[in-house]
Amino acid sequence: MKRKSWRNTARLFLASLILLVLPPTTWAQTGKVKAKTKTANKHRASAPPAMQIIENGIVVAEINLHGGELVLSYPASTVAQTTKAAKTTKTARRQPPSQAIHDPVQLYDPVIREAAWRYGMDPDLLHAVIKVESNYNPHAVSPKGATGLMQIMPATGVELGFANPRRDLLIPANNIDAGARYLAWLKDQFDGDLSLALAAYNAGIGAVTRNQALSNYPETSKYVRSVLDLYRQAELTALLRARY
């Protein structure tokens, strides 16, 4: 309630109270009563307010009887609280908006979890692949043309249904979905062998099919070890959190 509205309310109350309480003969005697009680009031303890206007548990205005007249006043505490509230509101408005998420792991985690659930994969495994493939860079493009977070080759993108893979796979949600779907398919092709599925993801399914020995592909062997190490670390961290 604003101060102006308090005054209007008090004035209406004052007029009503005068009409109801004070008879016409009293109006003429108001000056005399005021003069007689002026001296006595100096030695009399302050009387409690005739009426208090309270808002949200705070006294915002008082109506007192002084010398036969009703007087509207505003307690000093009310003014101080109003000023403090105004300053607090002004300071709150100056606060900067909430910062955007800059951690790529947190940023892409909801999309990764949704894709993992869709294709029956472990989200921690997808996180490990993305970390090794692009370090969470959605704009990464390899010299051979592998694109996006999960470094999908354009030919693989076409097989997965993208008309323009070089453009479409730069969209993080598309890239994560394509990578999760492709890795799940490779895992099925190798009867659940995750090492062979990861090797095929890196070197191509044809190369791994022709030679199951990963030792002939040092770069691919290093890639598989890196992904599996990150994946096992995530599993161990989750286990420790669950226990402690």
Active site residues: 133
Distance CA 203, CA 217 (A): 8
Positive or negative, the Cα torsion across 66, 70, 76, 78? positive
DSSP summary character for residue 238: H
Distance CA 18, CA 22 (A): 5
* Cα radius of gyration (the chain): 39
- Tell how far CA 180 is from the center of its chain: 28
Give the DSSP H/E element, type plus range, for residue 66. Answer: strand 58-66
Amino acid in the structure at residue 10? A
Distance CA 213, CA 203 (A): 13
Token pair belonging to 216: 């002939």
Nearest Cα to 186, choosing from 170, 207, 172, 217? 207
